[in-house]
Amino acid sequence: MFNPSEISLVDGICRVNGCTGSFVSDSGLIITNHHCAFDAIQKASTSDRDLLTNGFIAGSRAEEIPAPDYQVRITENYRDISAEVLSVVQEGMSFLERTKAIEKRRKELEIEAERQHPGLRAEAAEMFAGRTYVLFLYTYLKDVRLVFAPPASVGNFGGEADNWEWPRHTGDFSFMRAYTAPDGSSATWSAQNIPYRPKRFLRVQSAGVDEGDAVFLLGYPGRTARHRTASFLQYESRVRLPLTVELYQWQIRQMEEAGVGDRSVAIRHASRTKSLANVEKRSRGQLQGLQRAQIVEQRLQQESELQSFIEADEVLRQKYGSVLRDIAAVYAEMESAGPLEIHLQQLRQACRAAAFGFAVVDAVHERAKPDIERESPWMDRNYAQSVQELKVSLRDWHPPTDVEMLSGMLRRLSSIPGARQIPALIPLTESEQICEQAAKRLIE
């Protein structure tokens, strides 16, 4: 499965942006999900050449379409660095001090690893919050091209009705290809680049599998909250999930309405609409699942038993007796502040111009700091990629939609407790008319 000193199955697995991909040829061909390649398909589509609807196949390598905001990364090695990361934690530190110290140490280890391994990228990943950390070394490939995408009737069959459901009937696959410079090093797009040659590629087993065969999954999973406390689950079910569903449904409607009768506008919004719809459907399902399976009630019972176990032991009681109450107190504060925080976050994100503007302000602010103190996207090692992503994001900008998004978010904020105590928002949220006028002026 994995052997750092020999070629193994994991060498045929890669990460395509935030998704898993598999090399399926010795010339860098990758199979991944259609929804993972969707952004590349959308960026290459126009109303006259609608690849989203009709699909695409490159007749030759020369016809493959560059995907400039895509990266492929391949795991080269990893090691446990928990002791090195946690060595900076001292008794008596506040949670904030501890978090900052750990974050700084992770950055230091990443920079140190990249110095020791030129050409590779390092990531000090948190595997178990506050306890376990692993340093991954990756090959990053920056020239990625679209090779094949099925038409929407296959790649998006069933739409959001089928999404997150089982069984799936969607042909959710696409092919991309990774390229390197002629010397094999990572490089951005160039006509002189050559297909990447993976150490290993996967072959289809035409015979299939038999009942009882062992099955392993290789890839890049997301994250889980299954071990969180009841107070976290209550925050999710009362605040974050319902607001996410409501705000994302509203944004999706705005973009869909903007694209009615104008396919070019619909294409501009297609990638973001699909992304929001994916999260909205998942959030709606999570909310239904929490309520239907009475997960909060189950977790409260488990925590009651845990608290009794702790209280029965004097040493445990002294050390952990207040832990659950302390966590619950934090989430009580979050429940109170949550609606305003979530709406402010969406104010930054829903309007593309606002998102771009905030990113520029963040960049200026962060770049004035020493490199090790910057937020990760604005560190020297990540800066070029962050700027590239900003530039690519402008391709989908549609000012009329932005006006609707910004004015709508300002209207919503005007009714959220605490919003009108923020000086910058007071003159922008005095009335619905002022919200719309302010949005138009800001976008212009």
Q: Which pLDDT belongs to residue 129?
A: 85
Q: Which pLDDT belongs to residue 243?
A: 98
Same domain flag for 249 and 138: no
Same domain flag for 260 and 373: yes
Average pLDDT, the chain: 94
Same domain flag for 189 and 237: no
* Residue type at position 311: E
Question: Is residue 43, in this structure, part of any structural domain at all?
Answer: yes
Same domain flag for 234 and 351: yes
Same domain flag for 266 and 356: yes
Residue 207 dihedral angles phi and psi, to the nearest 5°: -80, -10
Question: Is residue 2, in this structure, part of any structural domain at all?
Answer: no
Residue 336 Ramachandran class (φ > 0 left, ψ -120 to 50 alpha, else beta) = alpha
Choosing from 142, 169, 195, the residue where a domain stops is: 195
Choosing from 173, 195, 217, the residue where a domain stops is: 195
Name which of 3, 7, 9, 5 is nearest 214 in CA terms: 9
- Answer for the pair 71, 17: CB distance below 8 angstroms, yes or no: yes
In the chain, what is the straight-line distance between the N-terminal and C-terminal CA atoms, in Å? 55
Question: Is residue 167, in this structure, part of any structural domain at all?
Answer: yes
Residue 438 CA to chain centroid, in angstroms?
A: 31
Q: Which pLDDT belongs to residue 322?
A: 97
Q: In the chain, which stretches have pLDDT less than 50?
A: none
Choosing from 195, 214, 244, the residue where a domain stops is: 195
Same domain flag for 377 and 284: yes
Measured CA to CA, the distance from residue 32 to residue 410 in angstroms comes to 39
Question: Is residue 23, in this structure, part of any structural domain at all?
Answer: yes
Question: Is residue 431, in this structure, part of any structural domain at all?
Answer: yes
Same domain flag for 350 and 396: yes
Residue 124 dihedral angles phi and psi, to the nearest 5°: -90, 95
Domain total in the chain: 2
- Answer for the pair 50, 152: CB distance below 8 angstroms, yes or no: no
* Domain extent at residue 94: 9-195
The alpha-helical segments, DSSP class H, found in 215-322 are 230-235, 241-259, 263-292, 295-311, 314-320
Q: Which pLDDT belongs to residue 13?
A: 95
| Model pLDDT for residues 139-165, shown as the tens digit of each residue | 999 999 999 999 999 999 999 999 999
Question: Is residue 246, in this structure, part of any structural domain at all?
Answer: yes
For the record, the structure tokens of 197 come out as: 């040659």
Q: Which pLDDT belongs to residue 151?
A: 98
Same domain flag for 244 and 160: no
Same domain flag for 171 and 28: yes
Q: Which pLDDT belongs to residue 225?
A: 86
For the record, the structure tokens of 271 come out as: 């990638």
Same domain flag for 269 and 379: yes
Residue 352 CA to chain centroid, in angstroms?
A: 17
Question: Is residue 340, in this structure, part of any structural domain at all?
Answer: yes
* Residue type at position 124: A
Same domain flag for 324 and 411: yes
Name which of 243, 223, 228, 244 is nearest 296 in CA terms: 228
Same domain flag for 234 and 169: no
| Model pLDDT for residues 373-413, shown as the tens digit of each residue | 999 999 999 999 999 989 988 889 999 999 999 999 999 99
User: Is the entire prediction scored with pTM above 0.95?
Assistant: no
Question: Is residue 331, in this structure, part of any structural domain at all?
Answer: yes
